Amino acid sequence: MKKTKKTYIGIGILFLLILLFGFTQTACLSSFGGTPEGSRLERMKTSPMFKDGKFANNPDIPTLTPGASYWEVIKRQFFGSEQRHPPGEIPVVYPKADTFISPPPAGLRAIWFGHATVLLEIDGLRILVDPVFSEKVSPFTSVGPERFFPLPVKLEDLPPIDAVIISHDHYDHLDMNVAKTLTKKGTKYYIPLGVGAHLEKWGVPEKQIFEMNWWDKEKLGDIEIICTPAVHYSGRGLFNRFTTLWSSWSIIGPKHRFFYTGDTGYSPHFAEIGKQLGPFDLTSIKVGAYDWTWEGIHMNAEKAILSHLDVRGKRMLPVHWGTFNLANHDWDEPVKISQKGALQNGIDLLTPRPGELVDIDLPFASTNWWENVKKKE
């Protein structure tokens, strides 16, 4: 309980610092990112989702549920009674040193690092999904929601990464330090429109940035990377919301297909993706960080199950849970609800521990490991 109160106080301080600094793009802290301008901005204006100087959901869906208020959001965040932190130590699997010695196999393997971060090996390429390696998801190093468990692999120990895909520019999905590290190794970034302004500010060369609109496609070797729709919002500050696009991602290889929801509300876009690009061998579905006050742009775990069915997924990897205190529910509620829904709908739900390797072409023995995360006597 003490840790929960500490987090709430930290979030309050964060809001105060945001107000103090103005949280504008002219702020001295580079973690805020850059401002789209010039040819980048002109391209953004050609997007059907860009309206009146900013991006909008299609159809236009409010950030807050009708009847909710920002005061309600703050009140529920600060004064909720949920068990938002794990009461004990989360079991982390640390991959063996030889796991990544050889080039990635021509199959489909995945490692969940926590939250939305997944290391994907698909048909001979390594792709990092929304990689966040910072201890706190915040523009500040000393304030913000803190990671529940150590990273299975340190940033500097990652194997060669061919590409990174980013769903949107929020701090729990786009990590400045990761970008600065991987750019030195030649890693390519596949991102929604406008997000390139952040990467360029952090030193990522233009040749390593592939900025995409919904349904745009890029080839990387034999892999096709497709930017697909989502229902969310963006912005790394109070005054630049909706200035970059958000997305889901579909990765189509010669033998395997992978889909990632990104942060999103539930909408007909899932069925459209399934119709055009499915079925998918593996889906990485956002199941956590929801609340009735923002249901339109953060679907709950029940809707996550529906999204997997809509895109015609075969095996489902639940992500965006169990790593940071970002919503008004118990820390393990999302996976419990997902498991119940998977059983009811005949879905092969994969529940690896953080760092545990999943090979899609082999059976995987999922366990309810979260049930053993208990306070030590």
- Does the pLDDT at position 277 exceed 80? yes
pTM: 0.92
Beta-carbon contacts of 145 under 8 Å, excluding residues fewer than 6 positions away, are: 7, 10, 11, 136, 137, 138, 172, 324, 325, 326
Q: Number of helices (H) and strands (E) in the chain: give both, helices first.
A: 8, 16
Number of domains in the chain: 1
Residue 333, in any domain of the structure: yes
Q: Model confidence over 185-237: pLDDT tens digits?
A: 999 999 999 999 999 999 999 999 999 999 999 999 999 999 999 999 999 98
Q: Which residue did the predictor score with more confidence, 239 or 243?
A: 243
Distance of CA 285 to the CA centre of its chain: 9
**Whole-number Å distance between alpha carbons of 276 and 262:** 18
Residue 377, in any domain of the structure: no
**Whole-number Å distance between alpha carbons of 243 and 192:** 11
Residue 291, in any domain of the structure: yes
- Does the pLDDT at position 8 exceed 70? no
Q: What are the DSSP E strand ranges found in the chain? A: 50-51, 54-55, 108-114, 117-122, 125-129, 163-165, 188-192, 209-212, 217-220, 223-228, 248-252, 257-260, 280-286, 313-319, 348-349, 357-359
Which pLDDT value is given to residue 377?
61
Q: Which residue did the predictor score with more confidence, 18 or 365?
A: 365
Residue 77, in any domain of the structure: yes
β-pairing, 217-220 vs 248-252, is unpaired
Q: Model confidence over 319-349: pLDDT tens digits?
A: 999 999 999 999 999 999 999 999 999 999 9
Burial tier of 112 (Cβ tally within 10 Å: 0-12, 13-18, 19+)? buried
- Does the pLDDT at position 23 exceed 90? no
Residue 186, in any domain of the structure: yes
The CATH number covering residue 97 comes to: 3.60.15.10
Which pLDDT value is given to residue 22?
39
**Whole-number Å distance between alpha carbons of 130 and 113:** 10
* Average confidence (pLDDT) over 133-137: 96
- Least confident range from 70-79, 87-96, 176-185: namely 70-79
Which pLDDT value is given to residue 76?
82
Share of residues in the chain with pLDDT > 70 (%): 92
Residue 362, in any domain of the structure: yes
- Range(s) of the domain holding residue 258: 2-372
Confidence band of 16 (pLDDT split at 50, 70, 90): very low
Structure tokens at 237: 């500050």
